Amino acid sequence: MREVYKTVYRLKSEGYMHALRNGLLLIGRAPDKKTEIELIEEYYWAIVRAYIAREVRSEYFIWWTKALELHIADLSTPGTLIIYTKAISKQVLLSPNHKLVFKKRETGKKAVGTLFSKLLPFVVKKSVGGVDFKVLSHEAALLDMLLLQNNGGVLDNYLVVKFLKKYQSVLQRSILGKLVELRYISSINRLREIAKAQGYEALYQDCVSIIRDEGAGCFLTSKK
């Protein structure tokens, strides 16, 4: 171990190894005088993948806002990246500006199985910065995003509208229906309203039929 420590010290002093937080080492020569935050920004997705592999291996997927952003090729580094896991809930600080949140979610007291297992059929692989990640599918990421509200109780739909401009014509009604049976009745109602406002008639009609057939006719209206 003494020789190992000496080797690590030499590699670090010569700029071939950089110590990150939580025991992770970045191997390879990086430009001189890089700050911790700059290193995280430059190698963000490779670093995230390494932490995911260490903490949860393959039992994860990216959800929330970033899942939707990745589908529209927004590879920006989020301040907080939230990751669904099968059994782990913890936070990992990458830098003063970057945090990973591993979150285990349940479906509810009366439901059988975790939400993680129920969403697995709606997970796809996506290459980000040359690294493969598990991400919620287009339909699941969209409905998950539509669950989110700001503190005023009003949905900020800018990202949703931007996503729909690209994908509204290819969203699969069958998948949306299965997701609504799982938990997303309020989301499909919000999607119905957005589709109508944006003039996406086919998507609007799909939402109406899903609410009627898979959502037990639960038509909801937004609070003004």
Residue range(s) defining the domain that contains residue 144: 139-224
H-type alpha helices, 76-184: 115-119, 138-145, 158-167, 173-182
Mean pLDDT (whole number) for 47-71: 91
% of the chain at pLDDT higher than 70: 86
pLDDT, averaged across the chain: 85
Specify the number of domains making up the chain: 1
* Rounded Cα–Cα distance for residues 180 and 193 (Å): 16
92 is a domain residue: no
* Rounded Cα–Cα distance for residues 219 and 180 (Å): 13
112 is a domain residue: no
Residue 25 has pLDDT above 90, yes or no: no
160 is a domain residue: yes
pLDDT grade for 6, boundaries at 50, 70 and 90: confident
175 is a domain residue: yes
Kindly provide the b/e burial profile for residues 93-127, where b requires at least 16 CB atoms within 10 angstroms of the residue's own CB: ebbeebebebbeeebeeeeeebbbebbeebbeebe
124 is a domain residue: no
165 is a domain residue: yes
Structure confidence at residue 110 (pLDDT): 43
191 is a domain residue: yes
Structure confidence at residue 224 (pLDDT): 42
148 is a domain residue: yes
146-190 pLDDT per residue, tens: 986 554 555 667 899 999 999 999 999 999 999 999 889 999 999
Please tell me the pTM assigned to this model.
Answer: 0.81
Mean pLDDT (whole number) for 27-40: 73
